[in-house]
Structure 1
Amino acid sequence: HQLDFLVRRLYGTGTIGRVYEQGSLIDVTINLNISHMGFFEFRLCPKTSSEELVTQECLNQNLLTLADGTTQFNVEQNTVAVVFAIQVQLPAEITCENCVLQWYYRASSRIGDCGDGTTDYGCGDQETYVNCADIAIL
């Protein structure tokens, strides 16, 4: 149920899973049972308190950069049981005791309308997966 992800519910416990240094390059590990090509992105919402609800609008304000300077990690092959090790750059200008780090995965395993009269894998509506973690940046 979508409300389970809100503050003080099943998943939104307010427990800080990890503390990071402001502006640091962090290691993120993604374990997929099966990949569907596509890409990953990471976002950050610096909450002002553990009681504050996190919105996608807040997360979208801080699309994080990867170590290679891009904002998307491309998943280029359809694979089973794969582990990705990715370095993500935290913003130098943000500190927070109650941040939410979001992982977003947009698959591209379906053929869809590309909007230009053609169809191809990754075009149109695709599966998306999202996960969040409560972190602190000091």
Structure 2
Amino acid sequence: MKIALIIFVAGLALVEPHGHVSVPLARTSIFRRPQEFPGAQQPFWWDDNGVWCGNVQQDQQYSTCGRCGDAPGNTHANQGGRYDKRIITGNYMAGTVIWATVDFNANHRGGYMFELCPQVTENNNCFQRLQIPSSDRPVRDSNWACSGGDHQNGPTGVRIQLPANVRCSRCTLRWTYRTSYPPAPDACFNPNPTQTFRNCIDIAIH
């Protein structure tokens, strides 16, 4: 009986939602700050820590993950989808380094990147990977931030370099978190199909 209970609890830990981008606030997390965004209308994605490609493990091409973290075949989190409130949550100057915050609820190691779709109309092919000059936790290859090998939960800060030649009244910043679950030897990057999370964020660049 004790063994069964341990297995059950371990299983819960593995499926617990993992994280979201809180600064600038992700499109699927607008409900978290109603006073700041009073015009936002339901429906909301209430489980915003579970925007995780339908919990389908992803290869390195994220072949079956929706553009903004939907389950395969869905487009609810995309621009124009049911969770798109058309709300800008960050205003920035072109060419600057901006500060973002990622909140981890259940850190399963691995790491994440940020990409930018530098145009008003979002599509699957417009995203360009951004440089990450520094983070509260280790950074690899200047564009991949480790979530922390110690499974540390809570907020972590990351600095992101915006391109100098982009101006947009609305464009999409995207966070993709590639966990190390199932476990991989590398605490920062799992090359195998793995649990993956995505957030899209509506920002303006002046």
Please tell me whether residue 66 in structure 1 is matched to residue 132 in structure 2: yes
Q: Structure 2-normalised TM-score?
A: 0.55
2:205 paired with 1:137: yes
The CA deviation at 1:77 is 1.6
List runs of 5+ in structure 1 lacking aligned partners.
113-119
CA distance in 2, matches of 1:137, 1:30: 20
Alignment of 1:54-133 (within 5 A): 54-59=122-127, 62-68=128-134, 70-111=142-183, 120=185, 122-133=190-201
Could you tell me how far 1:3 is from its partner in structure 2?
2.6
Higher share of residues assigned strand: 1
**Percentage of matched positions with identical amino acids:** 26
User: Cα deviation per residue 1:78-134 (whole Å; 9 max; x = unaligned)?
Assistant: 42532210011101111111110001100113146xxxxxxx463421111000110
Question: Which has a greater percent of helix?
Answer: 2
The answer as to whether partners of 1:17 and 1:134 remain within 8 angstroms in 2 is yes
- The answer for unaligned runs of 5 or more in structure 2 is 1-69, 135-140
- 1:26 matched to 2:98? The reply is yes
| CA–CA separation in structure 2 for the residues paired with 1:107 and 1:58 | 24
What TM-score results when the alignment is normalised by the length of structure 1?
0.80
- Quote how far apart the aligned CAs of 1:41 are: 0.1
C-alpha spacing 1:73/1:89, structure 2 compared with 1 (3 Å): same
CA displacement, residues 35-81 of structure 1 (integer Å, 9 cap, x when unaligned): 11111100000223xxx3x223211xx10001247000012324253
- Which gives a bigger RCO, structure 1 or 2 (Cα 8 Å, sep 6+)? 1
Matches of 1:3 and 1:109, distance apart in 2 = 25
* CA–CA separation in structure 1 for the residues paired with 2:84 and 2:143: 26
Q: Which runs of 4+ in 1 moved over 3 A?
A: 6-9
Instruction: Name the CA distance, whole Å, in 1 between partners of 2:107 and 2:170.
Output: 31
Q: CA deviation at 1:7?
A: 3.2
Q: Secondary structure at the match of 2:118?
A: strand
The residue that corresponds to 1:42 in the other structure is: 114
In 2 relative to 1, CA 7–74 (structure 1 residues): closer, same or farther, beyond 3 Å? closer
Q: Read off the aligned partner of 2:131 and give its amino acid letter.
A: T
Structure 1: how far apart are the matches of 2:192 and 2:80? 35
Cα–Cα, structure 1 residues 11 and 110, in superposed 2: closer, same or farther, change >3 Å?
A: same
